[in-house]
A and B are shown apart, each in its own frame.
Chain A
Amino acid sequence: MTDWLPPEAATALALSLRVSLVATLVSLPLGVFVAYALARWRFPGHGLLNGLVHLPLILPPVVTGYILLLTFGRQGWIGATLWDWFGFTFAFRWTGAALAAGVMAFPLLVRAIRLAIEAVDPKLEEAASTLGASRPKVFATVTLPLILPGVIAGAVLAFAKAMGEFGATITFVANIPGQTQTLPTAIYSFLQVPGGDRAALVLVLISVAVAMLALALSEWLSRRVARRIAG
């Protein structure tokens, strides 16, 4: 690579982008579903689900990482099953970093989408049903287009959170260059070695640039969608 960007830094950046993108895209459908359930349905365990979703926001990230390790680690109750049945593991892999990032970003994703869903007038959905649309069709043709700006905003927020995720990641999958060393953990590593602060600074600047870029992109997308929806 170029000399202004050390190879470890380039690897960390690429890994971070991949981890964050995968975390965001995989959690998006689940996030929309959970947000819809929380916004529109009343069911036993509503409060519990709401609390569970928000837990990563309130818990120390290290605790979330440790819980992930206990559940999804090779010895964890889900992790062990995944390993025994499918030979798949999150432990010390980039997929584990993506899982940690996804879990940490999930509350932000759900909150943004839930707000958007709550802003949609259920009367419009009723109107669609009188016009012959079943529940899934109402969602696809009325609700989803109307909440799209909120979904985009939530996704960008989640992506940014995933890019910056540190505590849960390092606890769950450690800090292995090329495997689980994301941007923040790479910065942390560079700061631990003498003479590493220049590389750290470059990575810091890249972090800022990526965050700003994502924000600008989401603003632009949301505004476009909003204009299309408002007419």
Chain B
Amino acid sequence: MTLEIRIAHRFADFRLEVDLALPGGLTCLFGRSGSGKTSIVNAVAGLLRPDAARIVLDGVALHDLPPHKREIGYVFQDARLFPHLTVARNLTYAARIRGQRPDGLDRIVELLGIGGLLDRRPGTLSGGERQRVAIGRALLAKPRLLLMDEPLAALDDARKAEILPYIETLRDETGLPILYVSHSVSEVARLATTIVLIEAGQVAAFGPAAQILSDPGTAALMGLRDAGAVLTARIVAQEGDGLTRLETAAGPLWLPHVAGEIGRALRVRIAAQDVILSRGRPEGLSALNILPATVATLHDGQGPGVLVRLDLGGEFLLARVTRRSAQALDLAPGLAVHAVLKSVAVAQADVGAGTT
């Protein structure tokens, strides 16, 4: 799949100008609110008519088509279920409009776990249920591309945790390309295969998720507090004391129990502020996860912090240290160090199914 998006549009207070060629998988449009992310997906859906647009999905030009002919599914932040229809009739809406049978209804209902809701009205559903029905409704329209505009932003953490696995399953099992708008770093780290950073209507950075997340320059743009790299890992053992042993390119990691069979691929996110650097191999520490690494680059930000990019043999980690520590340790590219990961840093919510 390739999706070409070239848009220029002048709003009252800023100018949107992007030129992207996106691969398949799940692409996150990441940026502050008001940066133009939603305008981009609206232009792709046809809900916004930009001053100039060229939008081509797998060789089919979409920019001249009205929204109902674009075959693009759209999951909105606010679900937008039809209040006068039952869940079942919301789900089959697209099929009924086209006079078709709703193929795959059972499979989608099972995939999203909404079998018990079919006769209910949207007004009686919880936020998480509503969002799952909205995802099902968009999927049953048989789209060639799925747009998701902050589908989790209106939900609390428990509801988010309820829906994230379904989105991962979509990404990994249906092969449907997804364009996903978010301003949450943890969501992006968990879901994205490609990241597009949007700042004030322009593309600030664009690339594979692992690269963007572990690049100190782009990580700083995404917000220092949330900066952190993503490692691909594989479950190799469930150990007797309740820990799960994971294998990464950088070495073994032990996490409090992670559900999944041996061999399952995962992504593990490690926040930059939860990584401690040591020049020698530290002794007598309670931290379980200590990985040998080489300093790749240093990125001075404003303020007292330094973002350090660590090479762990092909995989990259970010560490955030103070400039004073960086000087005390004499950190410089090429220096061998040990990265101490506070085990709490590897949060369960940030562990998801990896793309393989």
User: Using a CB–CB distance below 8 Å, which chain A residues touch chain B?
Assistant: 121, 123-124, 126-134, 137, 141-142, 145-146, 228-231
Render B41-76 as a binary contact track against A, CB cut-off 8 A, 1 for contact: 000011100000000000000000011111111101
Number of B residues with CB within 8 Å of any CB on chain A: 31
B124 partner, pick from A137, A229, A231, beta carbons under 8 A: A231
Interface membership of B260, Cβ < 8 A: no
A114 to chain B, nearest CB (A): 19
A202 to chain B, nearest CB (A): 43
- By a CB distance below 8 angstroms, the chain A residues around B98 are 132
Of A124, A141, A145, A229, which is within 8 A of B97 by CB?
A141
Say yes or no: A131 contacts B141, CB within 8 Å: yes
Q: A127-B74, A130-B74, A131-B141 are in contact. Are A230 and B68 (CB under 8 A)?
A: no
Given contacts A126-B67, A129-B67, A145 and B84 within 8 Å (CB-CB): yes
B82 at the interface (CB under 8 A from A): yes
Question: In the bound complex, how far is the Cα of B90 from the Cα of A142, in angstroms?
Answer: 11
User: Which residues of B pack against A, CB within 8 Å?
Assistant: 45-47, 66-74, 76, 78, 80, 82-84, 86, 93-94, 97-98, 120-124, 137-138, 141
Most buried by A among B93, B122, B141: B93
Complex CA–CA separation, A228 to B84 (angstroms)? 7
B83 touches A130 (CB 8 A): no
Interface centre among A123, A124, A132, A141 (most CB of B within 10 A): A132
Partner of A127, one of B76, B121, B124: B76
Contact B84 A130 (CB under 8 A): no
- Across-interface contacts of B82 in A (CB, < 8 A): 124, 127-128, 142
Residue in chain B with minimal CB distance to A228: B84
- Expressed in whole angstroms, the minimum distance between the Cβ of B245 and any Cβ of chain A is 45
CA–CA, A176 to B320, complex, Å?
A: 94
B122 pairs with A231, CB closer than 8 A = yes
CA distance A123 to B68 in the complex (A): 14
Look across to chain B and name the residue whose beta carbon is closest to the beta carbon of A230. Answer: B123
Q: How far is the CB of B57 from chain A (nearest CB, A)?
A: 14
In the bound complex, CA of A231 to CA of B82 (Å): 10
Q: Chain A nearest CB: distance from B46 CB in Å?
A: 8
**CB-nearest residue of chain B relative to A133?**
B97
Interface contact B47-A130, CB-CB below 8 Å: yes
The answer to whether A134 touches B68, judged by C-beta atoms less than 8 angstroms apart, is yes
- The complex places the Cα of A124 from the Cα of B90 at a distance, in Å, of 12
- Point out the residue from A124, A130, A134, A231 that lies within 8 Å of B72, measured CB to CB: A130
Are B78 and A123 touching (Cβ within 8 A)?
yes
Query: Which residues on the B side are within 8 Å of A145 (C-beta)?
Result: 84
Query: Is A130 within 8 A of B97, CB to CB?
Result: no
- State whether A132 touches B97 (Cβ < 8 A): yes
